[in-house]
Structure 1
Amino acid sequence: MIFPLFALFASSLAFPTVKRCGAQTYEAEDAALSGTQVLTDLGGYSGSGYVGGFDQASDKITFSVDSSSEKLYDVTIRYATPYGEKTATLSLNGGTNSDIYLAATDSWKDVKAGQLLLNEGSNSIDIVSNWGWYLIDSLTLSETAAAPDHNINPTLVNPNANADAVALYDYLRSIYGKNILSGQQDLEWTEWLAQQTGKTPALVAVDLMDYSPSRVERQGQVATTVEDAITFSEKGGIVSVLWHWNAPAGLYDTSENPWWSGFYTRATSFNVATALADPNGNDYKLIIRDIDAIAKELLRLQDANVPVLWRPLHEAEGKWFWWGAQGPEPCKQLWELMYDRMTNHHGLNNLIWVWNSLAPEWYPDPDTVDILAADVYAQGNGPMSAEYNRLIELGNDQKLIAASEVGSAPDPDQLQAYQAHWLWFAVWTDGFINNADYNPPELLKQIYNDEYVLTLDEISGWRG
């Protein structure tokens, strides 16, 4: 998971636009500024300047946009990031928020920022600090074209996938673009949701973190998540599994970075690039030891006829976890090693492989990936269209797309209006699913009772 974002507010002031190639471009220096300022130091900007000074959480610029009718628009932001890669928040009318990734660039660059569904009449569009320390030149809107039909791969990447995995994949393909599976992290919170909404999620996500050997050797065998997964599967539910992989060695184990935080880059000296470079070295052997330990648990699920949406090495591009700390190439090598070891050595044929990063340079061999996923913690219960479109482009619309971790359950009306065909969502646990800032109770109940959102009682026959 990642950190929560800030609550946002919007105001509305009119300013001129520039029309280019059928699109409308709004200059940042003409927008309403709050804590930000017009600058001219970096050459190559359009108009009379650009906006910087995003150094406080509430700093923002507000564009006022009129629309002749309710209409969906593609959004492009022209920006620069002289201090390295950043993330901004895009907010519509003070409600729908999305995270916008701004790759590092010393010169002006365009980024596709998803879609916005404008109301008829006046609308306010905010770009709010989030990480801050970036520059905004302009925002461009163009009408969104109808999405083409998906062209999803008809088979799993593992040619020996068992009947359970094939049946689940076929079911997922059959609902893609028609419905979304409701999901929740941790079995105990599915029970909480049933009490709050009258519905049980169709999918539960569990974590194999406590099966990591470097945790087991310190705390003993305390995990029950495999049993939780079997229990939920026996009820007819779908199981997603991630792994906060405690580093195999090099845990600092200090008061600031205790041993149980060893999946964080900051908490270990373990270097994945160095380990993988020496197949005869001890660190490489520890990687194999850990993969084998987790394979043993996944084999228990295979023996129990549980197909698994398997999501290891998640959020790698963030680099806050040790498997991504050395950049994309070692991480991709580790993914492909894990795929080969689990598939060909251990015969794990119940796995549907879920890659969980957005950036193209991090994408491993597509022949080892069945589903693409993103973790999104923006508030506002929005459609997460920027992340969705990035994944569609990453997989050439041949891979199913999932919102594997979210802070806010998405509003099904917005999902459909934005043509964001997420396959499932899974809300994170305490502090998110039970936090009204992320999931207002009435809206949560509405989401879980919407016909577009599938719950456990509606999917229990998926195997047949």
Structure 2
Amino acid sequence: MQKNILLLCIYAVMGVSCSSKSQVSKNNAALSDQKATPETVVLYKNLIKLADKGIMFGHQDDLAYGVNWKYEDGRSDVKDVAGDYPAVYGWDIGGLEKKSPKNIDGVPFDKMRQYIKETHKRGGINTISWHIDNPLNDKNSWDTTPKSLASALPGGVSHEKYKLWLDEAVTFLLTLKDEKGKAIPILYRPYHELTGNWFWWCKNNASPEEFKTLWKFTLNYFQEKGVHNLIYVYNTADFKSKEEFLEYYPGSDYADILSFDKYQYDDPQTNNSFVENCLRQFSIMDQVAKEQNKIMAFAETGYEQIPYSKWWTDTLIKAMGDYKISYVLLWRNHGWQEKEQKMHYYAPYQGHATSKDFVDFYNLDRILFEKDIAEKPYKK
């Protein structure tokens, strides 16, 4: 596989020039956290450089489990198929607010911490979302009782409880350190899919000002508590215009990466709407990214069970067009779902029908896995 060795600069401050014609000006790009750790600043600058080289491949819960296995040291369905780990690893900290030892998908937080450290040591990148419970009534994220978001704001009936929940996240985030005791940089994606209608923080459940207030309060709270290793990812679901994308946007000083989530549901051989809608949204988001001096990502996607054998090279790659995208993350490989009586996975596993196409996807110069970004150790 012929992949550009310049990509190997992701986790290093090196004397190697990674020349770029990025839409993002590296000289003017600055993180929203003005006290971000030096390592976090380095990662952000290198994300900008890498966006010119290609799109990093990511996978949710990749090291924790896969189809028909759990917690096997060093194992990964992606690695089983492609011979390489993803470049980006997704994790969710839903459950911390309840002081649960496991997240909402059953991953023990002790193991998650271990996986995040292992990923960082190899040169991979970690991103975290949070399916946080509804602070108004302690039900799950999908409870959309009216005024739930407002209850968490300063002066709201759930505000003090919400701060205690944030404290649990702060405690966990502050434990994410490398072997030298330095904080591991994390791409943090709070209140994801905010333009949907299925979470208590979505736009149907709050005004733009209420959402912006919650976002800003949360980021400021983390930073006041000493968390300075987060790169903040603004994440939407569907949107049809620039105005809709920006309606709930907290401002360029409070976000570092722009992104959206979109999944394939229809057969791409008979319905091209997934590709068309992705391209439409990337076109809109690309315009905003250029104006805001930001990078962008495809923060969640997938086609459950991947029933189309050429989905990787004939659908997903087309859906991303020629846009400069930092990373694309596929959802998790849960395996058999007893309640739904079906298989639930989004990346191929060994022997899967799309394995050959996935290897072809892996071999594209434009698609980056861990070996492409992590040849050099992290230095500062």
The aligned residue for residue 242 of structure 2 is none
CA distance in 1, matches of 2:363, 2:329: 16
Overall identity of the aligned pairs, in %:
24
30, 34, 41: which is aligned to 1:166? Answer: 41
86, 111, 115: which is aligned to 1:201? Answer: 86
211, 229, 249: which is aligned to 1:363? Answer: 249
CA distance in 2, matches of 1:403, 1:271: 28
| Shift in CA distance, 399/330, structure 1 to aligned 2, threshold 3 Å | same
TM-score between the two structures when normalised by the length of structure 2: 0.71
1:410 CA drift (Å): 5.5
SS in 2 for 1:182: strand
CA distance in 2, matches of 1:410, 1:335: 34
Q: Could you tell me which runs of 5 or more consecutive residues in structure 2 were left unpaired when the two chains were aligned.
A: 1-20, 67-74, 240-244, 269-273, 304-310, 334-343
1:405 pairs with 2:300 = yes
SS in 1 for 2:231: strand
CA distance in 2, matches of 1:443, 1:185: 20
State the number of aligned residues. 303
The aligned residue for residue 285 of structure 2 is 391
Amino acid of the residue matched to residue 227 of structure 2?
A: L
SS in 1 for 2:137: coil
| Shift in CA distance, 410/347, structure 1 to aligned 2, threshold 3 Å | farther
Amino acid of the residue matched to residue 204 of structure 1?
A: Y
197, 200, 204: which is aligned to 1:322? Answer: 200
The aligned residue for residue 330 of structure 2 is 427
Amino acid of the residue matched to residue 188 of structure 2?
A: W
Is the 8 Å Cα contact of residues 319 and 327 (structure 1) preserved in structure 2? Answer: no
| Shift in CA distance, 435/193, structure 1 to aligned 2, threshold 3 Å | closer
CA distance in 1, matches of 2:132, 2:319: 35
CA distance in 2, matches of 1:462, 1:180: 20
- Equivalent positions of 1:138-287 (< 5 A) are 150-152=23-25, 153-186=28-61, 187-188=63-64, 189=66, 191-213=76-98, 222-223=108-109, 224-251=111-138, 262-266=140-144, 271-276=148-153, 279=155, 281-287=156-162
Is the 8 Å Cα contact of residues 433 and 439 (structure 1) preserved in structure 2? Answer: no
| Shift in CA distance, 290/421, structure 1 to aligned 2, threshold 3 Å | same
Amino acid of the residue matched to residue 285 of structure 1?
A: E
- Equivalent positions of 1:5-16 (< 5 A) are none
SS in 2 for 1:205: strand
CA distance in 1, matches of 2:37, 2:49: 18
Is the 8 Å Cα contact of residues 136 and 151 (structure 2) preserved in structure 1? Answer: no
1:414 CA drift (Å): 4.3
The aligned residue for residue 442 of structure 1 is 356
The aligned residue for residue 91 of structure 1 is none
1:418 CA drift (Å): 2.9
1:217 CA drift (Å): 11
Post-superposition Cα deviations, 1:373-408, rounded to whole Å, max 9, x if no partner, equal 111112649583222122123332511000111115
Aligned-residue CA RMSD (Å): 3.2
Larger Rg: 1
Higher relative contact order (CA closer than 8 Å, sequence separation 6+): 2
TM-score between the two structures when normalised by the length of structure 1: 0.59
Amino acid of the residue matched to residue 336 of structure 1?
A: K
1:306 CA drift (Å): 1.0
| Shift in CA distance, 218/410, structure 1 to aligned 2, threshold 3 Å | closer
CA distance in 1, matches of 2:320, 2:129: 30
Amino acid of the residue matched to residue 362 of structure 1?
A: Y
